[in-house]
C-alpha cells in the first residue's frame, strides 16, 4: 500500500503576500546586563548541542563549526557521554601546532582527542546558580575567566548530571547590542607539555 493511500495528503496554504515572519525563537529578545541570565542561555533541551567524536580530525571539527555557526563543539562518545570540549582556539591555536610538531605529524592528521579540553578539567555553572543570576553576572564570569563559553549543568530526577545549556559571548553580545571584550586564554606551556606527555 502506498503511503498516500494509507495516510492521505495534507492540504497546503500559500505564504501570505503581506509577509511571513520569524518566530521569537529565531530572534532572541534584546537584553540588558540586569536581565535574567537564562534569557541568553542556549537551552539544549530545545536546541541540540553541536557535538563531535574524539577521533574526528581537526579539519572535520573546523568544518562542523563553520557549518553550524559555532565556535565550540561538545566532544561525546557513542553513548552520549561528554568526554571533552573543543573550541576554535584549540584547533587553530598554539596547542595544535605544538602537538603536531612534537609528534612530527601533519596538522591534517591531528584528532580532536589530542587538543580538546578533557571533561575532568572543564569548569561549569550549576543551573541552581544560573537561575538566580543576571546577564551581568555571566559576562563578569566569562570576562574574569577569559572564556568565550560557559557550560550549565543540572541533574535529572534520577540524579544523572546533564549538560543543560551553554552561554556564548557571541550570543550575549548580539542580544545586548554591544561588544563584549573577553578572549579565550591561550594554553600555558605547562598545559601544552601535559598534553604532549600524555600522548
Whether 48 is in a domain gets the answer: yes
Give the percent of the chain with pLDDT over 90.
61
Q: In what order do the strands lie in the sheet with 161-168?
A: 42-43, 161-168, 149-155, 124-126
Q: Is 18 a member of any domain?
A: no
Q: Is residue 90 part of a domain?
A: yes
Q: What is the pLDDT of residues 142-177, one digit of tens each?
A: 998 888 899 999 998 899 999 999 999 999 999 999
| Ranges in the chain, pLDDT < 70 | 1, 22-27, 182-199
DSSP string of 40-88, one letter each residue: GSEETTTS---EE-TTSBHHHHHHHHHHHT-SEEEEE-TTS-EEEEEEH
pTM: 0.77
The pLDDT, as a whole number, for residue 71 is 92
Domain count, the chain: 1
CATH number of the domain bearing residue 80: 3.10.580.10
Which range of residues forms the domain containing residue 67? 32-190
Amino acid at each position: 500500500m502506498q503511503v498516500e493511500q494509507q495516510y492521505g495528503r495534507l492540504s497546503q496554504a500559500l505564504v501570505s503576500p503581506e509577509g511571513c515572519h520569524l518566530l521569537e525563537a529565531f530572534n532572541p529578545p534584546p537584553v540588558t546586563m540586569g536581565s535574567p541570565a537564562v534569557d541568553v542561555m542556549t537551552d539544549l533541551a530545545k536546541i541540540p548541542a553541536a557535538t563531535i567524536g574524539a577521533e574526528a580530525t581537526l579539519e572535520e571539527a573546523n568544518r562542523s563549526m563553520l557549518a553550524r555557526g559555532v565556535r565550540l563543539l561538545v566532544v561525546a562518545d557513542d553513548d552520549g557521554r561528554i568526554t571533552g570540549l573543543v573550541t576554535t582556539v584549540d584547533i587553530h591555536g598554539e596547542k595544535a601546532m605544538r602537538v603536531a610538531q612534537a609528534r612530527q605529524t601533519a596538522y591534517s592528521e591531528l584528532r580532536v582527542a589530542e587538543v580538546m579540553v578533557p571533561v575532568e578539567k572543564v569548569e561549569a555553572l550549576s543551573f541552581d546558580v544560573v537561575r538566580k543570576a543576571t546577564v551581568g553576572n555571566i559576562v563578569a564570569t566569562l570576562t574574569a575567566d577569559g572564556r568565550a563559553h560557559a557550560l550549565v549543568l543540572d541533574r535529572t530526577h534520577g540524579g544523572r548530571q546533564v549538560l543543560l545549556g551553554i552561554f556564548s559571548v557571541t550570543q550575549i553580545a548580539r542580544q545586548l547590542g554591544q561588544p563584549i571584550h573577553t578572549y579565550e586564554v591561550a594554553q600555558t606551556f605547562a598545559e601544552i607539555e601535559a598534553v604532549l606527555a600524555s600522548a
